[in-house]
Amino acid sequence: MNLTTMYAGLELRSPLIASASPLTGRLDDLLRLEDAGVGAVILPSLFEEEVEAEAVMLHERFEAVAGLGAEAAGFFPDVDLDHLGLERHLLLVQEARERLSIPVIASLNGNTPGGWTRYALDLVDAGAQAIELNTYEVVADPRITAIEVEDRHLQLIAGVRSHVDVPVCVKVSPYFTAMANVATRMAQAGADALVLFNRFYQPDLDLQTLDVTPRLELSTSSELRLPLRWIAMLRPLLPNTSLGLTTGIHMGTDLAKALLAGADAAMATSELLRNGPERAAGLLTELRQWMDDHEYDSVGQLRGSVAQHTAANPSAFERSQYRQVLTSWTP
C-alpha cells in the first residue's frame, strides 16, 4: 500500500499531518508522532504580538533598575534568552529539524506586514522546511470592506513568498464571501498550498462572573463536511496547488473522504490530543484497511476520485444538495 503524497512540494510518507497543537510543541511528542507514521508535523504558531510583548516586558524590567550605580553591574542574574519569545520558537524548530526525518512546518501568525516577513525568515533560517501562514483574523471594524480584507491577505502572501525560498502554505478562513475567487487569487499570489479551514475558537460567557471567557471545544467528525465540500470544488480549479484539509479527522474513513474529495494531505489535532500521538498509527491502519477493501493501491489513485469534476453528481456539492438535505428528514 503506497501512502506517499506530495504536499506543497514536499514528499510525505503518509497523507496524515499532525497540525499545530500542544503535542507538536514538545520534542518528545514530536518523536512519538514520527514513530506513529505521520507524514509531517506543524509546530505551534509563533504569534507576533506575544513575541513583542515579551520583549517589551523584559526591556521594561531592565530599564526599571538601570543607572542605580556602578555596583549594579552584577545585580542581574543570568537570563537564559533561549527560553524567551522568539528564541524559544526558533530553538524548537532547530531541534525538531535535527531530530526528525519527516518535514517540519513552522506556523506563523503575524500582526504587521514587516512582522510576517521578518519572522518567516527567522523560522526558515532555523530550519523550517515550509511556512504555514495562520491567518486568524476577526474583522469587526465596519469601515473595513471585504475587498480590503482580501487584498490584505493577498499582499501578505506575496510578501512572504518573495522573501522565503521554502513552500508557503496558507490556512484559510471559512468566512470569505466568494471562496473560489479568493482561493484562486491566493494561489496566484504565491501560495503553494491552501489549508481549509482555520477553525476559529469562539468565546463564551461565564454566567457566574459575567466575563467573556475562552473555551476550547475539540472538533468532531461532523465538522469535516465544510472543508470536504470546498476541497472537492476547488480541486479542479487549482490543479497545481496543494490542498490540505483540517478539522474533523477522527477516523481513517475521515482521512479517506478527504483524499477522495481531492486533498493532498489532511491534518489531525483533536483526535491526537484526545488519544495521544500513537493514535496516528491507528488512523493510518484504518485508512489502509479501507483502501484495501475498496481496491485502492495508492493515495495517488485515491486522491480526487470524488472531486466535483469527477463525481457522478457534481451539483451535489452546490445548491441541489441544500434542497435535498431539507427534504431528507424523516421522523
Widest pairwise Cα distance in the chain? 83
Domain of 66, CATH number, reads: 3.20.20.70
Mean model confidence pLDDT for the chain? 87
pLDDT at 239: 95
Decide if pLDDT at 68 tops 80. no
Is the bond into 76 cis (omega within 30 degrees of 0)?
Answer: no
Question: Is position 60 within any domain?
Answer: yes
pLDDT at 74: 52
Of residues 48 and 271, more confidently modeled: 271
Q: Which of 3-7, 81-85, 243-247, 326-330 bottoms out in mean pLDDT, i.e. has the lowest?
A: 81-85
pLDDT at 323: 58
Decide if pLDDT at 259 tops 60. yes
Question: Is position 331 within any domain?
Answer: no
pLDDT at 249: 97
> What is the rounded average pLDDT of the residues 209-217?
85
> What is the 3-class SS of 133-184, one letter each residue?
EECCCCCCCCCCCHHHHHHHHHHHHHHHHHHCCCCEEEEECCCCCCHHHHHH
User: pLDDT over 70 for what percent of the chain?
Assistant: 82
Q: What are the DSSP calls for 213-264, one per residue? A: E-------GGGGHHHHHHHHHHTTT-TTSEEEEES---SHHHHHHHHHHT-S
User: pLDDT over 90 for what percent of the chain?
Assistant: 67
Decide if pLDDT at 73 tops 60. no
* Helix/strand/coil for 130: strand
Nearest to 248 by CA among 138, 139, 144, 174: 174
Q: How many domains does the chain have?
A: 1
Rounded-to-integer distance, Cα 42 and Cα 23, Å: 10
pLDDT at 5: 98
Task: Choose the most confident range, by mean pLDDT, from 34-38, 75-79, 108-112.
Answer: 34-38
B/e letters for 92-123, b = 16+ CB within 10 Å, e = fewer, are bbeebeeebebbbbbbbbbeeeebbbebbebb
Question: Is position 197 within any domain?
Answer: yes
Report residue 210 as a C-alpha cell. 459575567
Question: Is position 71 within any domain?
Answer: yes
pLDDT at 80: 46
- HSE (CB half, 13 Å, CA atoms) of 87? 8
Of residues 321 and 104, more confidently modeled: 104
Of residues 266 and 56, more confidently modeled: 266
Cβ neighbours of residue 227 closer than 8 Å, sequence gap 6 or more: 174, 196, 197, 245, 246, 247, 248, 258
Task: State the burial class of residue 253 (Cβ atoms within 10 Å of its Cβ: 0-12, 13-18, 19+).
Answer: middle
Instruction: Identify the domain containing residue 147 by its residue range.
Output: 5-326
Question: Is position 210 within any domain?
Answer: yes
Question: Is position 280 within any domain?
Answer: yes
- Residue-wise pLDDT tens digits, 78-119: 544 444 568 989 999 999 999 999 999 999 998 887 889 999
B/e letters for 42-53, b = 16+ CB within 10 Å, e = fewer, are bbbbbbbeebee
pLDDT at 325: 55
pLDDT at 64: 47
